[in-house]
Structure 1
Amino acid sequence: MNKAVRLDTNIPASRLGEGIYWDDATSFLWWVDIVGKRIHRYDPERKDHQSWSTSKEVSFVFPRPDGLLLIGLSNGVYLFDCETGEERPVALLDLPAEHRLNDGKRDPAGRLWVGTINTAAEPSETAALYQLQDGQLVQIEGGYTNANGKAWSADGELMFHADTGRNTVWVYDHDKAAGAISKKRVFAKIESGSPDGLEVDRLGNLYAAIYGGSRVDIASMRGDVVSQIDVPVPNVTSCCVGGSMGKTLFVTTAFEGMTYEELSAAPLSGHVFKVELDG
């Protein structure tokens, strides 16, 4: 049972850290603070941290070869220019009140999949899973309160999706050529806490950030939890594998909604953590 440690004491805490992503091309680590409306970038080699503000809640970030960032804001997908702060719409959604974009992930072919979340105190199942197709966000599946983390098996033939409201991780057959999913079934039910961000490593292990569970679960492709990583805060939000050898798990967390007493008991809430993986 490994324990995660804080990434860097100089990086500020995020109210709702999310969407962590390792960019192999630059060896930079990216993540967002959804509620704080900030994009973060970290260079582990130089221990250099930079951040940029956005006009709306921002839920994911992916750097592009042209220097722009593909980001998710509350009402759609945008291109972001770090030099000017310009936010250029790519695909917008006309969402109901108390809804916004949530976790986004690119599949093995580079297609962008995003979910939405109903943030009401008593949410209805009006959130959905979308795919970006030809400048439009096309709904793939509805009936969610929180369509959250996504990941693909090492061979790309399976897609995993975290249904946070039902404490369930679903698995689908994934058509790599068409970017289509079918044969939805339960992959894992989470008994303590709720599944949030997902990641699969090169060995085929599925990592699930467990919100409210102070951990990252590690599951085999059969859906059996084989190990876990303890994180010293309750609200674990997303994770990604990266680092110079591809053997580091980076983890985001959140302090949004925590009471003074809860924060006193877990003062590192909202920080980014890392753990060196075996194998």
Structure 2
Amino acid sequence: MALRSLRGLLSPSSASVRIATPIASVSRRHATTRAAPARPSASAASTPAASSPNSSTPTPASSSNPISSHQDLSEATNGEPGGTTPGENWAISFAGMSVQPFDSRIADVLEAPIKEEDVEIKPDGLLYLPEIKYRRILNRAFGPGGWGLAPRGETNVGAKIVSREWALVCLGRFVATARGEQEYFDPSGVATASEAAKSNALVRCCKDLGIAHELWTPRWIDNFKSKHCIEVWAENATTGRKRKLWRRKDASPFQYPNKEVRS
């Protein structure tokens, strides 16, 4: 009986001990869980931290220049050698052709009658306006720098002739194209003939603008020659051959190698 009483007295204490032990263990685990630092998530670890204003790490600067590579430069200049700004490739372009007429002031300058004292005549009777006169008319119409000749294709060098196609561009607009040509008699004269071919192309292009249109009118040519020109006999000093040559009436007589003689 005494033994049972003793067991009864000890049972609650033992139970208390058994219950207290897991409670303490759980409390310790709970405290450990709350004390552990939070682990960064995978997304947070993969995201770079924003650089502070005082950070020494360099950041790539964004370029404001639209031409950022050699390829971009080539595309911007449309293949023009030495170009630095976007523009037309006048070797193939017809940009601005017949978009609209030039204003009346420009048209008046281009189509103004030529001065008769500026017209020259070749010994074979061909009337012409010196090439510099065409350039001055273009300068008056479009201003210096407002027009230019652009090559279209390579220079063709034949056995005795040089030719090349050129385009006349005025105020950023295609106006006309023509092939200029010039004869040469020695290989050392090819460069000079190339420049003469360019001038020849300019004269032909100006015809589309109406410059010196009188020189393409047969009636005007006949009237001018009868009024300002004369046909004379001249003898070649080397061969002694006589032939008729044209010159202006107000020009000096032929001297050498063809000297004027009486028929």
- Provide TM-score, normalisation by structure 2: 0.21
The structure whose Rg is larger is 2
TM-score normalized by structure 1? Answer: 0.20
Higher strand share: 1
**Taking CA–CA contacts closer than 8 Å with sequence separation of 6 or more, which of the two structures ends up with the larger relative contact order?**
1
Counting helix residues as a fraction of each chain, which structure ranks higher? 2
